[in-house]
A and B are shown apart, each in its own frame.
Chain A
């Protein structure tokens, strides 16, 4: 199962990400992986507890986490479950929590089930929509511009 990102988002971030399929760029103005930007957008969506499940504009990004994210996959999976519980109003102290975990987690390399990856993609899509609404109305031209907007979005949309 691939992590997927919106084609519009890929285009919007084209100045700061390497072409699809490229793993790393010597160009210092770009992020090493497209996944870096996907992940930041997912964090915005997760912080805002908002997702967008429209899959019509999604492009395959990468299968499994880039190596640099391997050590943090359990935390990302935990955050996803905790956020879904909050969004769905599941009491984390009730046994229903276990069902939720079984739905989104698996013993796959990513620790996420297909449904879990779909949800993370949906948070990333919403995160992109949010950061694009405000504060990034124009295409970011540098990594620092994007990160500044990312930081502002987290402060603004966090619940």
Chain B
């Protein structure tokens, strides 16, 4: 199935009173490469949120304050509408978000031939279940998403593979399998060993625990969403605070300096920890007493001539010879005695082990390198404390200078930090495998609830003679889990291989290779990558995923090159058209050079520039490459 975007239309949304953007050429074909330059404040972020909201269906749940953020700023109106026209293969669907600013509500409507506008988000049957909030983020993409793929706090990379290759369907099989067993256990047939009331009691407990599992899964999901939402809000508030701080040049400069020093200090601490761990691997450096203990053992081995030169192997061989080395005959009696006494000697492989150990410990020499490394770490930590105090002082001064607004923002940031911590704590209680510091029970902890369910199923099976069904269910469960595991493993290996191939052409100035995808993308021999490199890795990763998927999607992206250097931009510009059937990129003027301009000679491209009118701030649209190019030249550097 192929999906393309044909048109976007806005009515009374922020600074836009009426605007239609078309992605169809005069000959009626879908345009492959679309670049939209939206000047600051003309609605780039708003557009991305609206597209996400309509595709993943979350617009239906927007709260009143979210809806009101879309209210027009240049005209007065209580209603607004955003629509997006999409082609799924040959069928056209148009989706609307109808915004009622007075009531603070939003609802999605769909128009698809032959029917007129209907309430709700109606999708083609084949992709009905795919368009979840998580999945939509894969093709309505922003830089933040790229960073998450590299961050071990999130399992973005794993989730992307799961959704795109529909491995989540295997979970449906597991649920159906569970349901079938419950139905069998609930049927009246089959001989029973337990009394009716005992069985009924077991079933009630099982139903209760099944319900608990559903509730806990829902809660865990909710906490994860809330954490994500609060993190985004926090980032936004921090950026607003940074804007205020910029007004107080000296203090802001000091803040930036402290932040740089803090970053450097963190790097130094990390390097020092790596050095300590390297030294610690040699146990004789831990302390003089340990070193002496090891050396004494080495010396004793030398004194005792361990391992002995004669090996068990020699005597075993000798026992099977006709004559001894002294030329006497070896009969059965002698053979038996030699074999028995051979046990007192070491085999050649054991000798080799002892020799290895002897040589490695005899040369142990304690020195102060590890204790000096610990001292240096302690120094760095002291510096870290000083820097943190300086940061706090500076922050207090900045808040004082920034007045109520800065203080309010800071208090909102602190509140969000508290909310995030609280959500993480609650999530930990639900998901923890084992945490002695939390009181975990089957009512508040998923692993325990699942364990309890398994136990109850066994008891019910035994009481209803449905052991066979339970065993079959377990076999299916094991098989499906095995398929899931094997498929994921093979897919990951192939994805890592192909992504690394692409990376070689995108990042040429540094050796970056993906080692594995284990929930997140882990790089080989390095802890992280720069912002530009992270975006490059994310594109190569997404590119590999989408090029092999059966479903073809458009790629809608905000600030596609971010802080990428020119070489990487060029490489990314070459990759994207080969991977996605359509690209709609919201670019900043600084992103034209070596990215958007790489498409100037491609006839399947269009350029749209959206600016705010100097008279009334209402937006104006300009189509065409010339305007786009000259605008970017004049305004390069306006944005950060």
Instruction: List residues of chain A with CB under 8 Å of any chain B CB.
Output: 7-8, 10-12, 14, 18, 20, 22-28, 30-31, 36, 39-40, 43, 46-47, 68-69, 71-72, 74-79, 81-83, 85-86, 92-93, 95, 97-98, 101-102, 105-107, 111, 139, 143-144, 147-148, 151, 154-155, 158-159
Contact = CB atoms under 8 A, between A and B. Distances in A.
Contact of A93 (B284, B300, B353, B359): B300
A8 B434 CA distance: 8
A101 B306 contact: yes
Contact of B293 (A36, A43, A72, A79): A79
Given A78-B298, A82-B296, A106-B353, A144 B283 contact: no
B304 A98 contact: yes
A41 to B, nearest CB: 12
A71 B57 CA distance: 55
Contact of A10 (B301, B381, B434): B434
Given A82-B296, A148-B378, A11 B287 contact: no
B353 A97 contact: no
Contact of A28 (B294, B357, B522, B527): B527
B151 A26 contact: yes
B360 A78 contact: yes
Given A72-B281, A98-B307, A111-B356, 17 more contacts: A14-B435, A20-B433, A22-B519, A26-B150, A43-B280, A47-B286, A47-B287, A79-B361, A81-B297, A81-B357, A82-B293, A85-B297, A93-B304, A105-B350, A105-B353, A107-B352, A148-B381
Contact of A78 (B152, B297, B350): B297
B520 A26 contact: yes
Contact of B527 (A26, A85, A105, A159): A26
A75 B523 CA distance: 30
Contacts of B150: 26
Contacts of B276: 147
B277 interface: yes
A83 B434 CA distance: 32
Interface string B429-459: 0001111110000000000000000000000
B616 to A, nearest CB: 48
A68 B300 CA distance: 29
19 contacts: A7-B434, A11-B434, A18-B152, A23-B518, A26-B527, A74-B356, A74-B361, A76-B283, A79-B294, A82-B293, A93-B300, A97-B297, A98-B346, A105-B353, A139-B437, A147-B276, A148-B377, A148-B378, A151-B374
B265 to A, nearest CB: 11
B624 interface: no
Nearest to A43: B286
A92 B298 CA distance: 10
A95 B21 CA distance: 90
Contacts of A8: 434, 436
Contact of B152 (A7, A14, A27): A27
B153 interface: yes
Contacts of A11: 432, 434-437
Contact of B346 (A78, A102, A158): A102
A39 B276 CA distance: 13
Contacts of A143: 273
B287 A158 contact: yes
Interface of B: 150-153, 266, 269-270, 273, 276-277, 280-284, 286-287, 289-290, 293-294, 296-298, 300-301, 303-304, 306-307, 346, 349-350, 352-354, 356-357, 359-361, 364, 374, 377-378, 381, 432-437, 515-516, 518-523, 527-528
Given A105-B350, A144-B269, A111 B357 contact: yes
A79 B295 CA distance: 9
A47 B354 contact: no
Contacts of B432: 11
* Closest 7 pairs (CB-CB, A-B): A74-B360, A78-B361, A82-B297, A92-B300, A107-B349, A27-B152, A82-B293
Nearest to B295: A82
A25 B520 CA distance: 9
Contacts of B436: 8, 11-12
Contacts of B266: 28
A1 to B, nearest CB: 16
Given A26-B152, A78-B360, A36 B277 contact: yes
Contacts of A106: 350, 353
Nearest to A36: B277
A147 B353 contact: no
Nearest to A112: B353
Contacts of A75: 282-284, 294, 360-361, 364
Max chain A Cβ within 10 angstroms of own Cβ: one of B281, B298, B301, B364: B281
Contact of A24 (B153, B277, B434, B522): B522
Contacts of B519: 22
Contact of A97 (B306, B346, B356, B361): B306
